[in-house]
Structure 1
Amino acid sequence: MTEHIWDDLLTERDRQVIKKAGYDEAGASSWDSRGLGTDPLVLVIDVQRLVVGEDEPILDAIEDYRTAMGEIAWDAIEEIGPFLDFAREHGLPVAYTRVVPTSYDDPDHEDLDIVETVAPEPGETVIDKSYASAFYGTDLLSRLVRGSHDSVIIVGNSTSGCVRATSIDAQQNGFDVILPQECLFDRIEASHKVALLDLWMKYAEVLERDEVETYVEEITE
């Protein structure tokens, strides 16, 4: 059984509501909000230098980049890297997004680079975006349809921002969403936990990384 990271935030009444309303078993009642699919694409969201920064406490990291998350990001990258290796070994396609802020005149600025530890391999797609959702103003939907994918496994950041927006748009476009919780990060711990709780209740399957890997093994064997 998944040990969800938001459990320590829930009151006893919260737990009762989740159980009595059936969110723990079926998610949202208005649509099929949770599923795993059989042909996923792995989407790595915005793991870039200006977001990651140096491997140091976040309060030090933001001295160089106000958006940097420091060791919070690096802790997740330690999980993302091996997961991407595992996904590739099992034949799953991997795609990336880069956020290109309007404050940057040069889209090739080194600040916008995906960090080398989890950088794309040759031939893997990198989608530039200007807003939170990886679907807005991009060709991601077309790529998923052309590839006959029925689901996305999302890793990266930030849980309460771009991950949340992309997950909701994916679900609303008919794709199952899988979130390996150790492979996601956010600068505010409360935002990270609450966003994952909300996504799990309404839009996505939130699992531990090893559970996602077991699922990948099952669909690729």
Structure 2
Amino acid sequence: MTSQYGEPTDRTYERAGFGATVRRGVRPAIVVVDLTRGFTDPAHPTGTDLTDVVAATGELIAAGRPAGVPVVFTTIAYTDAEAGGRDGTPAVTWLHKAPGMRALREGSDAVAIDPRLPREPADHLITKKGASAFFGTPLAATLAGLHCDTVLVCGATTSGCVRATAVDAVQSGFSVLVPRACVGDRAQGPHEANLFDIQAKYGDVIELDDAIGYLAGPAGRAGAR
């Protein structure tokens, strides 16, 4: 891929001062964005097969458990009134643009966390109405209360809620790491384009082994204190 200057896109962004490596903190948290049945199960209209993403995210969570790394799960869920109401008009503006999301109703199978994930009672669960896990939720306050300085963002979809969460995370003062194997989308093009964007501007897109090593190292041990 080349830019308008006829040079490789990576070089264009580097020349403009983007793509530097983030500062990795010593108190990480794992934020699992919307790995619910409605997104991971192709039987749902909003879903796709994210088996590999679920497995990789489970591996990352397991790596952080010995160090006590906090885990926050998110789900999108709407009440009947928010999704359509009596006249079928959604109260949430986003649902005019993305009407397929109206199926994500509170209490339904679609909004349940994928049971293949190693979720524990001590993990946090945040219900959101928008793309970002931070918008209109207590996530920033929760992470601050846990004294976290770095978030590893996992989940779905890369082009939607993952990207929005990465943007708001760095804007909220947290360093952002995105393990490539732990995020997924409905199509490869948007997935890769948004990983490029995150890497250039908001966080580091890293390999799973790197993320696991980070959690197992001094940062992870600090998180247990």
Aligned match for 2:27, one of 27, 34, 39: 39
CA gap of 1:13–1:41, structure 2 versus 1, over 3 A, is same
1:16 counterpart residue number: 11
Contact 1:35–1:205 (CA<8 Å) still a contact in 2?
Answer: no
Report the TM-score when normalising by structure 1: 0.81
SS in 1 for 2:8: helix
CA RMSD of aligned residues (A): 1.9
2:61 counterpart residue number: 84
Report the TM-score when normalising by structure 2: 0.80
1:130 counterpart residue number: 129
Question: Offset at 1:104?
Answer: 5.3
Q: Which runs of 5 or more residues in structure 1 are unaligned? A: 1-8, 28-33, 54-60
Runs of 4+ residues over 6 Å off in structure 1: none
Q: Structure 1 vs Structure 2: percent identity of aligned residues?
A: 31
Q: Which runs of 5 or more residues in structure 2 are unaligned? A: 84-101
Contact 2:56–2:182 (CA<8 Å) still a contact in 1?
Answer: yes
Question: Offset at 1:74?
Answer: 0.7
1:67 partner letter: T
**Residues 171-220 of structure 1, C-alpha deviation per residue, up to 9 Å, x if partnerless?**
01111011000000011111000101101110001100101111222223
Contact 2:64–2:216 (CA<8 Å) still a contact in 1?
Answer: no
Q: In 2, Cα distance between the equivalents of 1:13 and 1:98?
A: 38
The answer to whether residue 159 in structure 2 is matched with residue 182 in structure 1 is no
Aligned residues, how many?
195
SS in 2 for 1:134: coil
Question: Offset at 1:20?
Answer: 3.4
Contact 1:50–1:65 (CA<8 Å) still a contact in 2?
Answer: yes
CA gap of 1:44–1:79, structure 2 versus 1, over 3 A, is same
The answer to whether residue 75 in structure 2 is matched with residue 98 in structure 1 is yes
1:124 partner letter: D
Contact 1:182–1:209 (CA<8 Å) still a contact in 2?
Answer: yes
2:170 counterpart residue number: 171
Aligned match for 1:65, one of 44, 47, 60: 44
